[in-house]
Amino acid sequence: MLLESITMTDFQKGLKKTKTLIIPFGTVEEHGSHLPLSTDTMQVYEVVKEAAKRIKVFVAPPLHYGVLTSTRNHAGSIGISANSLRMITRDIIKSAYVKGLRNFILISGHAGNIHMSALKEIGEEMIDEFDDIKIAVISEYDMIRKESDKFVETKDDGHAGEIETSRILHLAPHLVKGRAKEEYPKLPKPFLVRDKVKYWKGGIWGNPAKATHEKGKKLFLFSVDRVVEIIKRIEKIR
């Protein structure tokens, strides 16, 4: 049940069948010269919408902005602070709790460390505040990494490479504009740098040329299966 599409009456009826809400998180972030800025949002939202066709669950509209670090200097990347992410996530959960929802799956299409830490921090805060609340925090990208090792050819694939290009080829092929060149960031770890573009001009971590629609479909369906499993698990926890 997509919150953006149902009425308040539908919502009330839905509460009799499930008290679980999935909140998808994405970004407005560069994904090379070949993928749309909404790549993270698109991937995770399509996965949870498909999961909602298989099992009764509420799905919130995606939050399109996230915490950006290594990509924040690139053209098109528009992010928010970790504090902003924590505050809006807290407000959404508390408001939904008042309306009768008790199980919350925070699933992000963006796997940035600070971004994910902010979501986990709020999850911990909420389970301390409410005795009857259950929360799962998931990086959708990390969830499929082990499965992708079975057929993805790029060993160190990360951002806008073989995996994400394959997924967008499956979900929205008309938005894929050719194939950018293989690239990997050369950030001088462990040092923090201001001008990240200097060390990562194309904003790609991997090899988009190896992407295919078939790989994207496999990853998409695998992710949907895992989300359905998580929904079942969270509703069984007492």
Q: pTM score > 0.85 for this model?
A: yes
Least confident of 117-121, 163-167, 191-195: 191-195
Q: What is the pLDDT of residue 16?
A: 97
- Residue 152 is predicted with a pLDDT of 95
Report pLDDT digits (tens) over 11-62: 999 999 999 999 999 999 999 999 999 999 999 999 999 999 999 999 999 9
The count of domains in the chain is 1
Residue 230 located in a structural domain: yes
* pLDDT at res. 55: 97
Inside any domain, residue 1: no
pLDDT of 1 over the 80 cut: yes
Structural domain includes residue 2: no
- Domain-embedded: residue 155: yes
Mean pLDDT across the chain? 96
Q: Is 111 inside any structural domain? A: yes
Predicted pLDDT at 53: 97
In a domain, 143, yes or no: yes
- Read off the pLDDT band of 236 (50, 70, 90): confident
Check which CATH number belongs to the domain holding 194 and give it: 3.40.50.10310
- Residue 3 resides in a domain: no
Report if residue 216 sits inside a domain.
yes
> Which residues constitute the domain of residue 90?
8-236
Please state the rounded mean pLDDT for residues 177-202.
93
Q: Of all residues in the chain, what percent carry a pLDDT higher than 70?
A: 100
SS (HEC) of the chain:
CECCCCCHHHHHHHCCCCCEEEEEECCECCECECECCCHHHHHHHHHHHHHHHHCCCEECCCECCCCCCCCCCCCCCECCCHHHHHHHHHHHHHHHHHCCCCEEEEEECCCCHHHHHHHHHHHHHHHHHCCCCEEEEEEHHHHHHHHHCCCCCCCCCCCCCHHHHHHHHHHCHHHCCCCCCCECCCCCCCCCCCCHHHHCCCCCCECHHHCCHHHHHHHHHHHHHHHHHHHHHHHHCC
Q: What is the pLDDT of residue 237?
A: 78
Residue range 83-105: average pLDDT?
Answer: 98
